[in-house]
Amino acid sequence: MTEQLTIAAPWRLVRTRRRSRDQKPFDLFPLFRLAVLLLVSSIVLLPLLATAIGGFKGLGELRTNPLGLPHPWQWRNYLDILESARYWRVLGNSLFIACFTVAITVALAAMAAFAFAHLKFFGSRFLFTYMTLGLMFPIATAILPLFIRVRDLGLLDTPWGVILPQSAFYLAMAVLLLRNGFRQLPSELLDAALVDGCGYVRYFLYVTLPLSRPILSTVAIIAFVNSWNNYIVPLIMLNSEQLYPWPLGMMAYEGEYMTSWQLVLAFITLTILPAIVMFLLAQKHIVAGLTAGAVKG
Amino acid sequence: MTVTTIQESKGAAGGVWVAALIFLPPALLLFTVFVILPIGEAAWYGFYNWDGYNRPQNFVGLKNYISLFNNSSFRTALLNNLIIIAVSLAIQLPLALAMALLLARRAFGSVAFRLIFFLPYILADVAAGLIFRFIFDGDYGPLSGATQALGFGPVYMLASPTWAMVALLVVIVWKYFGFHMMLFIAGLQGIDRNLYEAAEIDGAGAFQRFRFVTIPQLSPMIKLSVFFSVIGALQFFDVVVPLTGGGPFNATNTMVSFLYLFGITRMRVGFGSAVGVVLFVICVTFAFGYRRLLMRDD
C-alpha cells in the first residue's frame, strides 16, 4: 500500500516515510521526551510536596529525617491551624479584598472601555492612551506617595486602602482588554439599536455585557488572581493583623513561629491550598485567562 | 426626511457626549487619583527631605538622587535587577521554549504536564519565597538534608551573598517559566502546519525547520515574552522579602526591595520617592523603546 502511494505520488514520499519511522518500535524520542518532562515536573513539584509533607513532621524529625515520609504523621499541626480563627480570617480578608477589587475593576473598566470602543468624541484617543499608561510601570514606583494619599483620605488600615489603589492599577489592563473585546462585536448591532431608540446605557447593559462574557471573565480572573496574591499594597496599607490578607498573615505567622518550621510549613500549605484548588477546578479558564490577557494586552 | 436624519445625527452626537460623561468619569477619577497623581507626587517629593508629615518643605534639589547613586546597596540592587533580566532571558526563556516544543502537540501527558508547569505561576510570590526559604534552609531544609545524606556537610545557601542570589534566581525560573511556556504553546499552535510540510518537502531537516519556520513564526510571542520578563524583573520584590529579606549584607536586594527597606520602613518619603522615580524612568523608557523598536507591527 505504501509502496503504491510512493510510486503514484512522489510528493507523498515524505509522509509515508515519516509514518513508517513512527511505527518503528525503537523510536527513542517519546521516551526521551517523557524522561525530560518527568525530570522537570519533579523539580517543579518537589518543593511543594516537601512543604506539604514537612507540615506532617515534628520539628526534630525535620532535622533527623529531612527526605523521607513522616513517621508518624502528625495531623495535629494541620488540625490546629484549621481550628484556629486566624486561618479562616486571613482567607476571608483575602476573599473580601479580591471580590471588591474584581467588582470595581470590571465595572469601571467595562464602562470606560465601552466609551473607548463605541463613542467617537474629541479626546477619546488621548484619554485611552492616558489610561493605558498604567501598563508601563509597576505599582511600586508610586507606593510612597500612594501611602500618603491613602493616609490623607483616612483609608489607611482599612480594606478600602488596599482595594481602591489595586483596582486603579488593574484598570489599565482591564480597559485595554475590554475595549479590544467590545470592538469585536459587530458594529451594525449598535447602529440598529440606536436607530430603534435604544440608548447607549441600555445597549451597554443588555447587549454589550451579555455578549462579552468571555473577555469579562478573563479580566475578572486576572484581577482576582492578582489581588489574591498581592503582597506589596496590603503590606504598606494595613497595620492591624485583624485585616491581613493571607500573604501578610502567612508572613506574620512565620514571624511568630519562626522556630517551628513544621507549623510554618503546615500554614503555608493550607494558605496556598485554596489557590491550588481553584486552579484545579477552573484550570482551563485560569490558564486561558492569564495567557490570553497577556497576549491581547 | 433629510431634516429628520440631521436631527437624528445631531441627537446622536449630543448623546455621545452625554454617554461619555456617564461612562468615563468613574474610571478616569479612580485612575487619576491612585495612579497618575502618585507618580507626579513621587517626582515632586523626590526633591525634598521629608518624613511624610505636614508638608514637604525641606527642598534638597537632586541630593536624594545623588545619595541614591552613591549608595552601594542601591547599585547592587540595580545590578541584581540586571542579573535577573539576564537569567530570565538566557535560562528561563530557552527552558520555556523547550518545554513548549515538547508539549505544544497532542501527545501523551501534554495537558497534565502543562498544568504542572503552570502551577507555580498562580501561587503567590510570597508563598514561593517562603517555601524556598525552607528548601534552602541549612538546618531543616531538604536540600541540606540531601547533601548530608550524600556525606557532605550541611549547606547554608542563604547565608552566602553569592549563593543567596543564586537561590533567588532558581525561585524566579521555577515560578515563571511555566507562564512563558504557555505563551509559546499558544504561539506554536498558531503556526500553519503547511509551512512545516512545505519546508520538509524542500528538504529541511528538523533543526532547519526549527530555525527557519518555528523561530520566525514565533517571533511575536518571543518579543512579548521578553517584554514581560524584563518588566517583571524590574519590579521584582515579593520573593525577596520572605526568601532573603534582601540580605545577607544587602546582597540580594532588587530596586523595589531596596525602596521598601530604605524608603518605606524608615519613612524617608523623599528618598523613597526618588527610588520610585528612577524605577519609573527605567520602566517607561524600556516599554516605549521596546515597543517602538520591536513590536511596531504586532
* CA B210 centroid distance within chain: 28
Q: A59 and A167, same structural domain? A: no
Q: A29 and A108, same structural domain? A: no
A172 contacts in chain B (CB < 8 Å): 31, 35
- What are the Cα distances from residue A69, in Å, to A78, A244, B49? 16, 33, 56
* pLDDT tens, position by position, B130-143: 999 999 998 888 89
**How far, in Å, CA of B113 to CA of B162, rounded?**
32
* pLDDT tens, position by position, B51-63: 877 777 788 888 8
Q: A179 and A70, same structural domain? A: no
Q: State which residue of chain B sits closest to A118, comparing Cα positions.
A: B16
Q: A130 and A269, same structural domain? A: yes
For residue A146, is pLDDT > 50? yes
Q: A170 and A99, same structural domain? A: yes
Q: Do B26 and A108 touch (CB under 8 A)?
A: yes
Q: Does A279 touch chain B (CB under 8 A)?
A: yes
Q: Which of B17, B27, B200 sits opposite A175 (nearest CB)?
A: B27
Domain positions in chain B = 2-45, 73-294
- What are the Cα distances from residue A268, in Å, to A91, B51, B97? 12, 35, 31
* Residue A20 grid cell: 513508517
Angle at A249 between CA A270 and CA B118, to 5 degrees: 50
Is residue B70 within 8 A of residue B156, CB to CB? The reply is no
> What's the first-to-final CA gap in chain B, in angstroms?
45
Q: Does B166 touch chain A (CB under 8 A)?
A: no
Return the pLDDT at A10.
Answer: 43
Q: A154 and A16, same structural domain? A: no
Return the pLDDT at A26.
Answer: 66
**How far, in Å, CA of A115 to CA of A187, rounded?**
14
Q: A234 and A140, same structural domain? A: yes
Weakest-pLDDT range from A40-54, A81-95, B37-51:
B37-51
Buried b vs exposed e over A95-121: b needs ≥16 C-beta within 10 Å? Answer: bebbebbbebbbebbbbbbbbbbbbee
Q: A206 and A248, same structural domain? A: yes
- What are the Cα distances from residue B180, in Å, to A282, B38, B89, B100, B102? 20, 31, 11, 9, 14
A197 contacts in chain B (CB < 8 Å): none
Q: A95 and A65, same structural domain? A: no
A41 contacts in chain B (CB < 8 Å): 113, 116-117
Return the pLDDT at B19.
Answer: 86
Q: Which of B109, B130, B145 sits opposite A268 (nearest CB)?
A: B130
- Name the phi and psi angles at B48, rounded to 5: -120, 155
| pLDDT average, residue stretch B162-169 | 94
Q: How many domains are there within chain A? A: 2
Sole residue written with cell 520539628: A59
Q: A105 and A54, same structural domain? A: no
Q: Does B17 touch chain A (CB under 8 A)?
A: yes
Chain A to chain B Cβ contacts (< 8 Å)? 287
Q: What is the ipTM of this complex?
A: 0.88
Point out the domain boundary residue: A80, A96, A123. A80
Which chain B residues in 58-87 lie under 8 Å from chain A, judged by CB atoms?
none
- What are the Cα distances from residue A163, in Å, to A146, A226, B30, B96? 13, 12, 11, 34
How big is chain A by its Cα radius of gyration, in Å?
Answer: 27
Which superfamily is assigned to B73-294 in CATH? MetI-like (1.10.3720.10)
Q: A288 and A142, same structural domain? A: yes
Q: A132 and A43, same structural domain? A: no
Q: Does A11 touch chain B (CB under 8 A)?
A: yes
Return the pLDDT at A284.
Answer: 83
Q: Is residue A124 packed enough to be buried (19+ CB in 10 Å), middle (13-18) or exposed (0-12)?
A: middle
Q: Do B186 and A135 touch (CB under 8 A)?
A: no
B269 contacts in chain A (CB < 8 Å): 144-145, 148
Q: Do A119 and B137 touch (CB under 8 A)?
A: no
Largest Cα span, chain A: 84
For residue A153, is pLDDT > 70? yes
Q: State which residue of chain B sits closest to A45, comparing Cα positions.
A: B116
| pLDDT average, residue stretch A213-241 | 92
* pLDDT tens, position by position, A172-215: 999 999 999 999 888 888 888 888 888 888 889 988 999 999 89
B249: left (phi over 0), alpha (psi -120 to 50) or beta: left
* pLDDT tens, position by position, B226-272: 999 999 999 899 999 999 988 788 899 999 999 998 888 888 888 98
Point out the domain boundary residue: A16, A47, A80. A80
Residue B105's pLDDT band (cuts 50, 70, 90): confident
**pTM, whole model, 2 decimals?**
0.88
Residue A11's pLDDT band (cuts 50, 70, 90): very low
How big is chain B by its Cα radius of gyration, in Å?
Answer: 25
* Residue A6 grid cell: 510512493
Q: State which residue of chain A sits closest to B174, comparing Cα positions.
A: A44
Q: State which residue of chain A sits closest to B185, comparing Cα positions.
A: A291
B247: left (phi over 0), alpha (psi -120 to 50) or beta: beta
Domain span at residue A159 reads: 85-296
Point out the domain boundary residue: A31, A60, A80. A80
Portion of chain B with pLDDT greater than 70, in percent = 94
> What letter would DSSP give residue B48?
B
The CA distance from A215 to the nearest CA of chain B, in Å, is: 17
Given CA atoms A190, A193, A197, A203 in this order, what sign does their dihedral have? Answer: negative
Portion of chain A with pLDDT greater than 70, in percent = 91
Portion of chain B with pLDDT greater than 90, in percent = 46
Return the pLDDT at B296.
Answer: 63
Give the CATH number for residue A201: 1.10.3720.10
Q: Does A295 touch chain B (CB under 8 A)?
A: yes
Q: Do A47 and B107 touch (CB under 8 A)?
A: no
Q: State which residue of chain A sits closest to B274, comparing Cα positions.
A: A141
What value does the mean pLDDT of chain A take? 86
